[in-house]
Amino acid sequence: MRRKPGLFAMVPAALAAILLTISPAVAGAPVQGGTLRAALTASAPTLDPHSGTHLAIREIGLHVFENLLAFDAKFQIVPQLAERWEASADGKVYTFTLRNGVKFHNGREMTAEDVRVSVERFRAVAPRRNELDGLAKLEVVSPSVVRMTLNKPDASFLAAIANPICQLAILPKEAVEGRPINKADIIGTGPYKFVEWIPDRWVRLARFADYKPEGKVEAGGFGGARNAYADEIRFVPVPEPGARVAGLQTGEYEFADFLPSASIPQLTGDRSLRIVRLGPQNYPTVYFNHTGKFKSLKLRQAVQAALNMDEIMQVANDGDGRVDPGLYFKEQVWHTTAGGKLYNQKNPAKAKQLLKEAGYNGEPVVFVTNTSYDYMYKAAQVIQEQLKKVGMNVTLGVYDWPGSLAVRKDMTKWDLFTSSHSTRFDPSANDFYFREKTTFFGYKNPKMEVLLDKASAATKFEERYKIYEEVQKLTYEDVALLKLYDHYTWQGHSAKLQGYTPWVQVRLWNLWRER
């Protein structure tokens, strides 16, 4: 451990901004070896990749497992375990040809039969299984070819295969066949193999010597070659932010995720560290309960008109973010500003007028938020103040995250609710908010259902993009929900680590330690 000078000296924020390294320059050739200790925020509930959407499952899982397809840095779908795929003209039959010579961590070569068994298991146990409801037939054509036939064309099918959230990972048949949720053997094809898991202490992974990287696609996002340079990675759950900061400073961790904004000026002054910004990571949202008083469009419009997103972002995340109306980030091919005129209006006079037209007479509005995610709580406090200024009587219902979710289930107990949307890899991931059958906030609009049906049947990107532009426009016009701002987070690593680029979530492949 080294002495860290100047700990108590707070570097002014302006200087910090100059010193920030957004993406460290890659110096020299990659070096193999060493153990990389990474502090994550949460403990993985399980390492079975099919079992859940929890962040820690995929943060660790993406180093161990691979899907047939992946998303590249531009969020486009690229082959991963599949060498290529073909879609029939009617958009119903997909044929995947697998890469040759890909080995599982148990030494056996991957075949089409493993793909069949993995997909079947995913359809049986995974929380995301309904995304494959349209899959009518799954055939092993040859040891290296799998054919999937759908009931009807589904534009989001490939995204469901590539989605890293609750990965449709390909595992060997013997590790998953007949295994219930959480009980798969942790054997994948990825650059690192599983060694040891001591819950709440660490997950140890070791470099897989027989890893066969994808070689045709440029490495970026989750796509392309994922080379393992460190001999071992230890993922350590460190839920307390101060402990992540201290561990990074003392060199106990070479990498730490979700660093608190308040620590950034101090950390950027430490030359043994690199602090990088992961932006955007998610966007906070406010849902209306469409079955209660917010059934009234005018009332929803009043809230929409009243909000000042710059102010909310400043308080909720110390200004680390971006005010943008897109339901998909600017970095994504799906980004659009459609409906954006209605976003961030900062117009209290209009809000007051709309409240009058809605016949609002100071009835109490219950705004449910949580303290587990402090940015949501802070955002709710600012929103409460902004709405009070236009004459709304807002009371906060503050719970921890599970408590707030439980309250949300009872539609008589809340009017507004804070949450956030993580990076969506395909716009269809938001469909369920807007469909009457699946939404949890009582939203109902036949026009929206028609648009979503059209989007699902469309197969060309341009066609889908236009429809989702309409969806976003309607979301704003109908005030279905409110997007607040693009939320940035901070990560830090030892200055000796080379090759790290922040993107969506922790990725420690193609990363090495300078000798």
Q: Are 11 and 269 in contact (CB under 8 A)?
A: yes
Two tokens, residue 229: 């340079």
Task: Answer yes or no whether residue 353 interacts with other proteins by CB under 8 A.
Answer: no
Task: Answer yes or no whether residue 432 interacts with other proteins by CB under 8 A.
Answer: yes
Q: Are 393 and 362 in contact (CB under 8 A)?
A: yes
Q: Which of residues 232-251 bind other proteins (CB under 8 A)?
A: 236-240, 242-243, 246-247, 249-250
Task: Answer yes or no whether residue 88 interacts with other proteins by CB under 8 A.
Answer: no
Q: Which is nearer to other proteins, 256 or 497 (CB)?
A: 256
In angstroms, rounded to a whole number, what is the distance separating the alpha carbons of residues 108 and 292? 57
Task: Answer yes or no whether residue 271 interacts with other proteins by CB under 8 A.
Answer: no
Give DSSP secondary structure letters for 70-122. Answer: EE-TTS-EEESSEEEEEE-TTS-EEEEEEPTT-B-TTSPBP-HHHHHHHHHHH
Q: Are 101 and 94 in contact (CB under 8 A)?
A: no
Task: Answer yes or no whether residue 218 interacts with other proteins by CB under 8 A.
Answer: no
Give DSSP secondary structure letters for 230-265. Answer: SSEEEEEE---HHHHHHHHHHTS-SEEEEE-GGGHH
Give the nearest distance from C-beta 87 to other proteins in angstroms.
Answer: 26
Task: Answer yes or no whether residue 496 interacts with other proteins by CB under 8 A.
Answer: no
Which residue in 381, 403, 411, 449 binds other proteins (CB under 8 A)? 403
Which range touches other proteins (CB under 8 A), out of 181-189, 343-351, 382-390, 494-502? Answer: 181-189
Q: Which of residues 3-22 bind other proteins (CB under 8 A)?
A: 3-4, 7
Q: For the chain, report the end-to-end CA distance as a whole number of angstroms.
A: 17
Helix (H) or strand (E) holding 203: strand 202-207
Task: Answer yes or no whether residue 440 interacts with other proteins by CB under 8 A.
Answer: yes
Q: Which is nearer to other proteins, 244 or 507 (CB)?
A: 244
Task: Answer yes or no whether residue 402 interacts with other proteins by CB under 8 A.
Answer: yes
Task: Answer yes or no whether residue 377 interacts with other proteins by CB under 8 A.
Answer: no
Task: Answer yes or no whether residue 38 interacts with other proteins by CB under 8 A.
Answer: no
Task: Answer yes or no whether residue 162 interacts with other proteins by CB under 8 A.
Answer: no
Give DSSP secondary structure letters for 204-239. Answer: EEEE-TT-----SSPPBTTBS-----SSEEEEEE--
Which range touches other proteins (CB under 8 A), out of 139-147, 170-178, 195-203, 507-515? Answer: 195-203
Q: How many residues bind other proteins (CB under 8 A)?
A: 51
Which range touches other proteins (CB under 8 A), out of 89-97, 103-111, 305-313, 397-405? Answer: 397-405
Give me Rg for the CA atoms of the chain. Answer: 24
Task: Answer yes or no whether residue 206 interacts with other proteins by CB under 8 A.
Answer: no
Give DSSP secondary structure letters for 465-499. Answer: HHHHHHHHHHHHHTT-EEE--EEEEEEEEETTEES
Give which of 73, 423, 67, 61 is closest to 221, Cα–Cα: 73
In angstroms, rounded to a whole number, what is the distance separating the alpha carbons of residues 234 and 279? 25
Which range touches other proteins (CB under 8 A), out of 136-144, 199-207, 288-296, 317-325? Answer: 199-207
Q: Are 180 and 116 in contact (CB under 8 A)?
A: no
Give the nearest distance from C-beta 378 to other proteins in angstroms.
Answer: 18
Strands 93-98 and 82-87: antiparallel
Which residue in 21, 130, 142, 393 binds other proteins (CB under 8 A)? 130
Which residue in 196, 400, 436, 514 binds other proteins (CB under 8 A)? 400
* 208-to-65, 164, 212, 354 alpha-carbon distances in Å: 12, 20, 9, 62
Task: Identify the burial level of 455 via C-beta atoms within 10 angstroms of its C-beta, where 0-12 means exposed, 13-18 middle and 19 or more buried.
Answer: buried
Task: Answer yes or no whether residue 200 interacts with other proteins by CB under 8 A.
Answer: yes
Give residue 73's identity as a one-letter amino acid code.
A
Which residue in 137, 359, 438, 453 binds other proteins (CB under 8 A)? 438
Give me the sheet containing 145-150, strands edge to edge.
82-87, 93-98, 145-150, 135-142
Which range touches other proteins (CB under 8 A), out of 25-33, 45-53, 78-86, 145-153? Answer: 45-53
Which range touches other proteins (CB under 8 A), out of 356-364, 417-425, 461-469, 481-489? Answer: 417-425
Which residue in 36, 40, 49, 52 binds other proteins (CB under 8 A)? 52
Task: Answer yes or no whether residue 127 interacts with other proteins by CB under 8 A.
Answer: yes
Q: Which is nearer to other proteins, 203 or 302 (CB)?
A: 203
Task: Answer yes or no whether residue 198 interacts with other proteins by CB under 8 A.
Answer: yes
Positions in the binding site for other proteins (CB under 8 A): 1-4, 7, 43, 45-46, 48, 52-54, 127, 130, 165, 181-183, 198-201, 236-240, 242-243, 246-247, 249-250, 252, 372, 399-403, 405-407, 409, 419-420, 422, 429, 432, 438, 440
